[in-house]
Amino acid sequence: MGLDLGRRGRRVALEVLGWLLVAGGIAALVLPGPGLLMLFAGLAILANQYEWAERRVEPVKKKALETAEAGVENWWRIAMSVAGALALMAIGVFWIVDPDAPSWWPVRDSWWLLGGWGTGTTLILSGLIALGLVVYSYRRFRAR
């Protein structure tokens, strides 16, 4: 009985993780972050339980690799990707420092930089992940 409960608990935990990664991946398609990578990871986890997820893993993986290859297609794209990741990290640091709202801010000061250190930390982590993905993509698709 205890072994069965542990197995079910593991299954539920993996399913929750898979759905969180899928939801986060969909959000990160339009927000800063590695959307296709998170979507792929979530579908790969859910593919252990659901046939529909198993059918979607390969197309998402293929699109993620195509996007990674296109991101390092030339030096201009590499430079812009690195600059974007560094800018994202700089905005995260700015968010953590949380300066007072500027005089031109048109709404209540309490609405300036909503989210505080949590948002700033997430932005910095997204920038680090983006830099890691640029390095991975470069090594996989350009370094020959």
| Same domain membership, residue 118 and residue 89 | yes
CA 20 – CA 24 distance, rounded (Å): 6
Confidence check: pLDDT of 10 > 80: yes
Q: What is the pLDDT of residues 92-129, one digit of tens each?
A: 999 899 888 888 989 888 888 888 888 899 889 888 98
Same domain, 140 and 83: yes
Residue 44 identity:
A
Q: Of 63 and 33, which is predicted with more confidence? A: 63
Look at residue 30 and tell me whether its pLDDT is greater than 90. Answer: no
**Rounded-to-integer distance, Cα 86 and Cα 46, Å:** 33
pTM score, whole prediction: 0.70
Domain boundary among 21, 56, 71: 71
CA–centroid distance for 110 within its chain: 28
End position of a domain, from candidates 71, 99, 130: 71
User: Looking at the structure, do residues 127 and 99 belong to the same domain, yes or no?
Assistant: yes
Give the whole-number percent of the chain exceeding pLDDT 90: 37
Q: Are residues 60 and 23 in the same domain?
A: yes
| Predicted confidence (pLDDT) per residue in 51-95, tens digit | 999 999 999 989 888 888 888 889 999 999 999 999 999 999 998
56 and 3 in a common domain? yes
3 with 65, same domain: the answer is: yes
5/38 same-domain check: yes
Average pLDDT over residues 8-29: 89
Same domain for 120 and 66? no
For residue 3, name the pLDDT band (cuts at 50, 70, 90): low
Whether 62 and 121 share a structural domain:
no
Residue type, 24: G
Gap between the Cα atoms of 118 and 126, Å rounded? 12
- Contact status, residue 95 vs residue 116, Cβ threshold 8 Å: yes
Structure tokens at 80: 């812009």
Q: Are residues 6 and 62 in the same domain?
A: yes
Token duo for residue 101: 């709202």
Indicate the residue among 14, 45, 71 that finishes a domain.
Answer: 71
Which domain does 23 fall in, by range?
1-71
Tally of structural domains, the chain = 2
The mean predicted confidence, pLDDT, of the chain is 87
42 and 99: one domain? Answer: no
Rounded to 5 degrees, what angle do the CA atoms 137, 142, 144 make?
125
Q: Does residue 37 share a domain with residue 11?
A: yes
86, 56 contact by CB (below 8 A)? no
